[in-house]
Amino acid sequence: MNQPRRSRRPLAPEGARQRFRAPGGTDVARRLAAACAALLLAAPAGWAQTVSLGGTFGDKALLVIDGSPRTLAVGAKVNDVRLVSVQAADAIVEIKGRRVALTLGGAQVNLGGSAPVESQTGQIVLTADGAGHFFTNGTINGKTVRFLVDTGATNIGIGQAEAERLGIDYRAGRRGYSGTANGAVPVYMVPIGSVRIGDVQVYNVEATVLPATMTHVLLGNSFLTRFQMKRENDKLTLDRRF
């Protein structure tokens, strides 16, 4: 018995078939990739969310921005993160006018929030010790130091050994002389990237590095004049002025 013929779809012409092959799909994929890249390039300012310091190389720093390592020279900028300065184990970056101190091996800093790095109140409250001195812990360029408030000091005062521990290249600073009980001594004057006490942080503070061994850092007027100072009994309150 003759079997009924099965109907077959007509084959598309060769040229038509090729329009549906991989090359056409690849072209579409390429266009999509290009569109995605354009969106990334058009990302708004402040795209970077986190940053940390992975290493330093002379005047360059390895920054880990949103999980991706990027090597930047001082003054260079990527994803709205600009490298302001770099030292042996510290760096200062700026994003949207905010400067943040990074420490080698330190925790990543969240840049995505709208809150500034400095304290909302801008207030520091210190308590005097038994001798009436105001000591406090803080950081210089992200490294811990012990401060002593000294209203008679023009600048923040740092001994050379402490400056070397902090990675401050003080020999590149301005030369000068400072009067001491033993007469005038040569000193170096250098800008400090960041000084932090509690949750209050200020930037670009002048420091004087002295050829002396000091057990603490003098918190002088280059820092104190940025605050309104008020003393009541054993309390010293510093309210941020600028």
Could you read off the pLDDT of 188-204 as tens digits, one per residue? 999 998 999 988 989 88
Confidence label for 80 from pLDDT (cuts 50, 70 and 90): confident
CATH match of 123-240 with 3.40.190.10? no
Copy the structure tokens of residue 168: 């401050």
Confidence label for 5 from pLDDT (cuts 50, 70 and 90): low
The pLDDT of residue 1: 52
- Tell me if the pTM is above 0.75: no
Judge whether 187 and 179 are in contact, CB under 8 Å: no
Alpha carbon distance 47, 65 (integer Å) = 10
Closest residue by Cα to residue 196 from 166, 160, 161 = 166
Q: Is the pLDDT of residue 185 over 90?
A: no
| 82-97 average pLDDT score | 80
Give residue-wise pLDDT tens across range 154-181.
999 999 999 999 999 999 899 998 877 6
Judge whether 192 and 166 are in contact, CB under 8 Å: no
From-to residues of CATH 2.40.70.10 in the chain: 123-240
Q: Is the pLDDT of residue 116 over 80?
A: no
Instruction: Collapse the DSSP code of 19 into the 3-class scheme (helix H, G, I; strand E, B; otherwise coil) and give the result.
Output: coil
| 143-163 average pLDDT score | 94
From-to residues of CATH 2.30.30 in the chain: 50-110
Alpha carbon distance 133, 127 (integer Å) = 8
User: What are the contacts of 173-179 at 24+ separation with CB within 8 A?
Assistant: 173/209, 176/208, 178/208, 178/210
The CATH label, of 3.40.50, 1.10.3090, 2.40.160, 2.30.30, for the domain at 50-110 is: 2.30.30
Judge whether 72 and 83 are in contact, CB under 8 Å: yes
Alpha carbon distance 129, 26 (integer Å) = 74
Alpha carbon distance 52, 212 (integer Å) = 33
Residue 30: how many other CB atoms lie within 10 Å: 10
